[in-house]
Chains A and B, each alone.
Chain A
Amino acid sequence: MAMHERILDDAPAYLLGELDAGARATVEAHLATCTQCRAEFAQLGEALASLANLAPEAEPPDRLRAAVMAAAEREGPALAIPLVTPSRARRQVDWGRWIPAVVAAAAAVAFAVQASAAAARVRTAEAAYHRVLAANGLLQGQLAAAQRGIALSLLQLEPTSSQTSAVASLAVASDADGGRVALVARGLQPLEGREVYQLWYLNGGAPVSAGVLQISGTTGHLQASLRPGARVDAAAISREPQPGDTEPKGPIILETA
């Protein structure tokens, strides 16, 4: 039987989440390289989802809306990683291959921040990372990244002083050609004047600016590219009196343990 046929026979079980990890990885490895099967799976997914139309719509209780909105508000924004469009992928580096890694990293970051904010804070970044990935089925994302030769890691940033309850997680996806970092921080104090929160990473001992956090309430987000060959050994967030500095001048608020 041709490879395509074998993979397609697994489509219904794959689309319904029934395959075990090994079979799922086989399907995903094939889909990563076969545009024909990828298109077929997308269409079969639509057909399968259309069965949901046979379930009669039903009016949920009013309290569901209130509960749903309150949960979202409590949780704050999920980390938004813009998906790179194919046209842009053609113009530049092959960013398309970053998508699974960075999307997995983004989800890992979002969950890791919740985990850190909880009372039982996980001390080591490695343990937190694997716990988060395992808990959310994201080992598949890590696997997909590994198959493309991309290393994916997660760093936890912790407060430098007991006076702040801020936490942050930084996902790093990289290979020899460069990489992407995605950060989310929660519990940040309000800034004054021209102040900014700035992310720095240590590359062989020297701090390099990764940029200024976008602030929404007490939450900060940042996504940035890494230069080819750049390594992120450690990271810190400082409170800078103004944007544009090439080395930290203000106090360090959060740093990797």
Chain B
Amino acid sequence: MAAADEAATMRAVASGDLEAYGALYASSARVVYGLCLRLLGEAGAAEDAAQEVFLKVWRGAARFDPERGSLRTWILAITHRECLDRLRARGPAAPVRPEDLDLLPDSAMPPEDEAVRSAEAECVRAALASLRPEQRRALTLMYFGGYSQSEIALALHLPLGTVKSRARLGLQALRRWMQAEGVGARGDA
């Protein structure tokens, strides 16, 4: 969807247009629910979180700014934030275990025999695989594990500054890859 269309959709949603909101739900429910399920690991919790995400989209529609990114990105950021808040509310995160460090980056990706993956998912997979292992580890532990940089630093016996740099350099490398491949900047939501 072009930026102007996305802006128009969200103006309609902000003004209370239930039809526009229903269409937005139809086009984004699978990806929102899928991310909730991946992060929270349980269908009931994912359903609750997804419902809250859509309520936040409804309430916050006026705050969507197409100049700051695509609608898909905006909704996924809300989804991710909601799930992380719920993970954190479950109590202190379990300490990062050595096996998590090896397993998480791969378990963050669906197995080969999983249902058809989108071209965009394939591209992100390739982009992530191209990162230096320590950068990939920092990013995936943060994004999919919900671990804070301090927790990662503690587990890896690294200075916090090193973890910050790794996450930032990894993210910048990911961004360069995505731009070179022409994806990510403006997906369909």
Give the interface of A toward B (CB within 8 A): 8-13, 15-18, 42-61, 64-65, 67-69, 71-73, 75-83, 86, 103, 106-107, 110-111, 216, 219
Interface of chain A, main secondary structure: helix
- Distance in Å from the Cβ of A256 to the closest Cβ of chain B? 24
Indicate whether A45 sits within 8 Å of B73 (C-beta atoms), given known contacts A51-B143, A54-B108, A75-B59: yes
CB nearest to B143 among chain A residues: A51
Indicate whether A68 sits within 8 Å of B55 (C-beta atoms), given known contacts A12-B167, A47-B171, A59-B33: yes
Residues of A within 8 A of B39 (CB): 55
Indicate if the CB atoms of B35 and A52 lie closer than 8 Å. yes
- Distance in Å from the Cβ of B58 to the closest Cβ of chain A? 5
Indicate if the CB atoms of A58 and B37 lie closer than 8 Å. yes
Indicate if the CB atoms of B54 and A107 lie closer than 8 Å. no
Contact of A13 among B32, B79, B120, B167 (CB under 8 A): B167
Indicate if the CB atoms of B59 and A52 lie closer than 8 Å. no
- Distance in Å from the Cβ of A123 to the closest Cβ of chain B? 24
Contact of A56 among B14, B38, B62, B73 (CB under 8 A): B38
Residues of A within 8 A of B114 (CB): 56
**1/0 contact string of B149-189 vs chain A (CB within 8 Å):** 10000000000010011011001101100110001110000
Indicate if the CB atoms of B47 and A48 lie closer than 8 Å. no
Residue count of chain B within 8 Å CB distance of chain A: 80
- The 3 residue pairs across chains A and B that have the minimum distance between CB atoms: A77-B16, A55-B38, A80-B14
Contact of A10 among B59, B81, B144, B164 (CB under 8 A): B164
Indicate if the CB atoms of A61 and B47 lie closer than 8 Å. yes
Q: How far is the CA of A59 from the CA of B127 in the complex (A)?
A: 26
Indicate whether A60 sits within 8 Å of B30 (C-beta atoms), given known contacts A18-B149, A50-B120, A51-B139: yes
Indicate if the CB atoms of A78 and B149 lie closer than 8 Å. no
Indicate whether A69 sits within 8 Å of B18 (C-beta atoms), given known contacts A12-B142, A80-B11: yes
Residues of B within 8 A of A44 (CB): 171-172, 175
- Distance in Å from the Cβ of B184 to the closest Cβ of chain A? 4
**1/0 contact string of B37-62 vs chain A (CB within 8 Å):** 11100010011001100110011111
Give the interface of B toward A (CB within 8 A): 11, 14-16, 18, 21-22, 25, 29-35, 37-39, 43, 46-47, 50-51, 54-55, 58-63, 65, 67-70, 72-73, 76-77, 79-81, 84-85, 108-110, 114-115, 117-118, 120-121, 124-125, 127-128, 138-140, 142-144, 148-149, 161, 164-165, 167-168, 171-172, 174-175, 178-179, 183-185
Residues of A within 8 A of B79 (CB): 52
Contact of B62 among A13, A47, A49, A80 (CB under 8 A): A80
Interface of chain B, main secondary structure: helix
Q: How far is the CA of A9 from the CA of B22 in the complex (A)?
A: 39
Residues of B within 8 A of A53 (CB): 118, 120-121, 124
Indicate whether A64 sits within 8 Å of B51 (C-beta atoms), given known contacts A13-B149, A42-B69, A49-B76: yes
Indicate if the CB atoms of A103 and B69 lie closer than 8 Å. no
CB nearest to A51 among chain B residues: B143
Indicate if the CB atoms of A71 and B55 lie closer than 8 Å. yes
Q: How far is the CA of A55 from the CA of B107 in the complex (A)?
A: 10
Residues of A within 8 A of B77 (CB): 15, 45, 48-49
- Distance in Å from the Cβ of A100 to the closest Cβ of chain B? 10
Indicate whether A54 sits within 8 Å of B124 (C-beta atoms), given known contacts A16-B84, A71-B55: yes
Residues of B within 8 A of A83 (CB): 62, 65
Indicate whether A9 sits within 8 Å of B168 (C-beta atoms), given known contacts A60-B29, A64-B33, A77-B14: yes
CB nearest to A6 among chain B residues: B164
Residues of A within 8 A of B11 (CB): 80, 82
- Distance in Å from the Cβ of A109 to the closest Cβ of chain B? 11
Q: How far is the CA of A52 from the CA of B16 in the complex (A)?
A: 28
